[in-house]
Structure 1
C-alpha cells in the first residue's frame, strides 16, 4: 500500500492511498460469503451459492462495492498510522480508482492536530486568590443553616417582604383561563422574585382573604411571553422565625454541643473549600500561562463542533431551569452577538488547551496505567451516582475508553505543568501546591515523611528517573483537563448541564 500526504492547510491534509488489488482478496471472500447468505438461488442452500453465480445474478460490481466498504476503515487506519498524523474527526473519503483485478485507490481529507512543540514551561508564575475565610463568610454560612431550621407561624396582618403567603392564582388570556399558569395552595416567599414578574409588588399589603388582579407576561408554558390577566388570592400569611444562635441550636443543627464548636467547624470547612478553589485556580492559571506561550492554528470544524456542544449544553440548562435564552441573556446583561463571541472565544481556547496538553503528553512520554483508568472510572461513577462497574461497562460498550485515556493523559500533563509553576497568592506568599493537596487529602507532614522514608528503604534511589516517569503518578485531583480548559476559557454558560454520558450511563 502506498500513501501520499498533501497538506491542504496547517490543520487539514489529503491522503492519497493506492492499494494493490490482491490486498482486497480477504474482503472479497467475505463479501461473497455474506451475499451468499442473502441471495436465494434455486438448487443452492443459503451460504452455498458459488461466486460465479453471484457475479451472474447479483453482479460483480455489487461484490466489489461490499468489499471496498469493508476494507476502507482498516486501510484508512493504516494510512493514518504510516503517515504519523493525529487526525481529528471523521474523514471525507472518495474512491478514485477501482479496476477489477488491478488497482484500488481512494483519497481521504481530514482535519489534523497541527504539528508543534510545547515550549519550556519552567519559571512560569501565576497568582491566585488568598485562601482567607472571613468572619462574614462564617456568619453567612451559619445564617443559611438557621434558614433550614426556621419555622412558620400564622400572622394576623398584611404580608410583608420575607413573609410566606399561601396563595391561589388564576391566569386568563382573552377571558380564557390558562390552566398551566394557574395554581392553588401555593406557598410563596414574598420578595423572593422567584415567580411571575409583579407578583411580589402585588402581595405586599394583602392580608388573608384579600385578592388583586394584575397583568404580566407568562414565563413559561404554551403561552410563554404572552401577557395574561392574573388574579392572586391570599389564603394565609405566615412569618418566618429563625432559631436563636445558641448552644441549643448547635445541638439541633449539628453534632456539636456548643455554638462556638459549630463556628469552628464551619470555619474549618470553609477553609478547605477556599484551598480547593485555590488549587483549582492554580491549575486553570497554569494552563492559561502555558497557552499564552503557544501560537497554533486551530481547525475550523473542530472549533465549530465545540461551539455547538456549548450551545447545546446551555439549551439543556435553560430547559431544566424553565428559562428562555432571551431571559438568560437579559439576566447576564449580554447581547446575542456578545454571547456568541464569548462562546466562540471559549471554544477556541478549550480546543487549544486540549491540543497543547496532548502534545505535552507526547513530548514527556506520559502513559496511562490500568490502575489510573480504574481510579478515574471510580471517581466519575461517584460523582454521577452510579456503580463503577455499570459505568465501566457503558464506556466499553460505547467505545469511549479512548476518550477516557485522553482525559487521564491530559490531567497528568497538566499536573506536570503545575509542578514546574511558581504559585503565589495575592498577598505574595508562595504556595506549595503539593503540600496543600496532601493537607486536603488528610495527610500530615509526619505521615508523608514516614512514607517517603519507607519507600527509600524498600527501593534504591534511581537517579536516572525522568520528570515524565515521576509524573506518571495518578493525579490526586478529580478535576479533568477538559474542565480545566473550560474554566481557563471562562465558559459563557453559568453552570454546566449534566453530560449526555452521565444520563445515558444512569439509564444503561
Structure 2
C-alpha cells in the first residue's frame, strides 16, 4: 500500500492511497468463494456451481463490495501509519481504478489540532469566600414562606401584593385586538406580569368593581402592531385576596419532606442546603474563570467537522427544550456557532490538559461527589447504590470529577486571589453580578 499526504490548510489533509491489485483480487475471490457455497443457480446443486458461473453472475457485485470495504480498511491503516488523528469522516474520491489494476483514491479530511496548553500562569482567578450567617438563614426561611404564600379573600380595596381575579377586554382605537381579552385571570399586583401601568391602575379597586384603564405598550413590545400604542382596557374585578404567609410549623416543614424535627431541625436542613448551594456556586464561578482563561491563553483553530457536529447537537437540545413543530435542521446554524465553538475549543483544551498532566478520575473524589449529590434526597443510601449500579451515570460523574481536577491543576499555576463576600453575593449568578 502506497500513501502520500498533503497539507492543504492548517487542519485539512489530502491523503492519496494506492491499493495493490493483488490485495483487491484476494478480497474479490474471498467473496466469490463465500457466494459459491450458498448460491442457488438453476441446474446446479447448492455448493456445486462452477466458479466460472459464479464469477459471471456475481463478480461485479463482489468487486464493488470489496472496494468499499478496502477503502474503509486502508484509510484506517493509512492514518495510523501516518500518525494522523482525523476529526470527522473523510471525503473519498476514487482517482483511478480498472479491473486487473490497483486502486488509487484520495481522502480529504480534517485532523485534530496539535498543541500544548500554555499560559496557565497568566490566568487570573478571583475565588470568593463566604459562609451562611444566621441572617442569611432567616432570609431564606422568609423566601420559602413567600414561595408558599396562600391568598385569602378580603373585602377591602386592593393593595400591592394582593391577588386579583379579573376579566378584561382590551381595545385600540375602539377595536379589540388579538390576545387582549381574558376571563378569570389571577394577577398579583406588583408582579410586573402585565404591561407597565396595568397593575398600578388596579391598586385601590374592590371586588365587583369595573374599571377602565389606559396603559401604553412599551416601544420594544414583541408584537410590533401594539408597540408604543395606548390601549383601553375594561377590567372587571371578580375578587381581591390578600397574601398570608404560612407559619413555621410542622405542617409547613412537611412540605419539604422534613418531619418531627421542629424548627431547629428544619433550620439545620435548610442550612445544609444553603451551604451545598454556596459550595457549588463558588466552585462554578472559579471554573468559569479558569475556562475563560484557558480560552484566552490558547487560541486554536477548530475542525469544521467538530463545529458542525456540535451545532447539530445544540439544535437538537433547543428543540427538546422549547418544543414546537420544528425540526432541528430548520434552526439557523449561526444561532449556535459561537456557543458550539466555545464548547469544542474547551473540549480540546481540557482533553489536552488531561493528557499533558496525565490526569485520571480520583476514586475518592468520585465517591465524595456521589455522596454529596445523594445527600439532597430523603434516602441517600438508595441514591448512592443506584449510581454504583449504573455505568453511564458513573462515567458522567467521573467526567465531572476529571474536569474539576483540570480546574485544580490550573489553579496551582494561576494567579489566584481570595475575596470575602456575603452569602447573597457568592450565590448570585455571574451574569447578575456583572450587571450590578
Q: TM-score, normalised by structure 2?
A: 0.67
Using the TM superposition, give the Cα deviation of residue 285 of structure 1 relative to its aligned residue in structure 2, in angstroms.
2.6
Q: Does 2:12 correspond to 1:12?
A: yes
Q: 1:5 to 1:202 in 2, by over 3 A?
A: farther
Using the TM superposition, give the Cα deviation of residue 146 of structure 1 relative to its aligned residue in structure 2, in angstroms.
0.8
Measured against aligned partners, the alpha-carbon deviations of 1:429-488 in whole angstroms (never above 9, x if no partner) come to xxxxxxxxxxxxxxxxxxxxxxxxxxxxxxxxxxxxxxxxxxxxxxxxxxxxxxxxxx99
Q: 1:149 to 1:117 in 2, by over 3 A?
A: closer
Measured against aligned partners, the alpha-carbon deviations of 1:152-176 in whole angstroms (never above 9, x if no partner) come to 2111244333222234567899989
Measured against aligned partners, the alpha-carbon deviations of 1:319-370 in whole angstroms (never above 9, x if no partner) come to 58xxxxxxxxxxxxxxx9xxx69x655443332222222223333445679x
Counterpart in 2 of 1:331? none
Counterpart in 1 of 2:104? 105
Using the TM superposition, give the Cα deviation of residue 287 of structure 1 relative to its aligned residue in structure 2, in angstroms.
3.5
Q: Superposition pairs for residues 143-154 of structure 1, below 5 Å?
A: 143-154=142-153
Q: Does 2:263 correspond to 1:270?
A: no
Measured against aligned partners, the alpha-carbon deviations of 1:276-328 in whole angstroms (never above 9, x if no partner) come to 222233333333334443343333453455455446545654558xxxxxxxx
Counterpart in 2 of 1:142? 141
Using the TM superposition, give the Cα deviation of residue 240 of structure 1 relative to its aligned residue in structure 2, in angstroms.
0.9
Q: 1:108 to 1:201 in 2, by over 3 A?
A: farther
Contact conserved, 1:167 with 1:233, CA < 8 A, in 2?
Answer: yes
Counterpart in 1 of 2:240? 237
Using the TM superposition, give the Cα deviation of residue 250 of structure 1 relative to its aligned residue in structure 2, in angstroms.
6.9
Contact conserved, 1:127 with 1:423, CA < 8 A, in 2?
Answer: yes
Q: Does 2:354 correspond to 1:350?
A: no
Contact conserved, 1:131 with 1:275, CA < 8 A, in 2?
Answer: no
Worse overlay, 125-134 or 199-208 = 199-208
Q: 1:117 to 1:216 in 2, by over 3 A?
A: same
Q: Superposition pairs for residues 248-397 of structure 1, below 5 Å?
A: 255=259, 262-263=266-267, 266-307=270-311, 309-310=313-314, 313-314=317-318, 316-319=320-323, 344-366=337-359
Contact conserved, 1:217 with 1:224, CA < 8 A, in 2?
Answer: no
Measured against aligned partners, the alpha-carbon deviations of 1:380-428 in whole angstroms (never above 9, x if no partner) come to x999x9x769975899xxxxx9x99988866654554345556432259
SS of the equivalent of 1:129 reads strand
Q: Superposition pairs for residues 79-158 of structure 1, below 5 Å?
A: 79-119=78-118, 121=120, 126-133=125-132, 137-158=136-157
Please provide the CA RMSD for this pair: 5.4
Aligned length: 395
Contact conserved, 2:119 with 2:298, CA < 8 A, in 1?
Answer: no
SS of the equivalent of 2:160 reads coil
CA distance in 2, matches of 1:389, 1:257: 31
Using the TM superposition, give the Cα deviation of residue 241 of structure 1 relative to its aligned residue in structure 2, in angstroms.
0.8
CA distance in 1, matches of 2:32, 2:132: 74
Match of 2:419 among 423, 426, 431: 426
Using the TM superposition, give the Cα deviation of residue 103 of structure 1 relative to its aligned residue in structure 2, in angstroms.
0.8
Contact conserved, 1:88 with 1:112, CA < 8 A, in 2?
Answer: yes
Q: 1:366 to 1:158 in 2, by over 3 A?
A: same
Unaligned 5+ residue runs, structure 2? 325-331, 377-382, 422-428, 432-436
SS of the equivalent of 1:426 reads strand
Measured against aligned partners, the alpha-carbon deviations of 1:52-81 in whole angstroms (never above 9, x if no partner) come to 4455456x4443222222333332222222
Contact conserved, 2:24 with 2:102, CA < 8 A, in 1?
Answer: no
Counterpart in 2 of 1:23? 23
CA distance in 2, matches of 1:232, 1:185: 11
Q: TM-score, normalised by structure 1?
A: 0.59
Contact conserved, 1:248 with 1:258, CA < 8 A, in 2?
Answer: no
Using the TM superposition, give the Cα deviation of residue 107 of structure 1 relative to its aligned residue in structure 2, in angstroms.
1.6
Structure showing greater relative contact order (alpha-carbon pairs closer than 8 Å, 6 or more residues apart) = 2
Q: 1:154 to 1:51 in 2, by over 3 A?
A: farther
SS of the equivalent of 2:199 reads helix
CA distance in 2, matches of 1:97, 1:35: 27
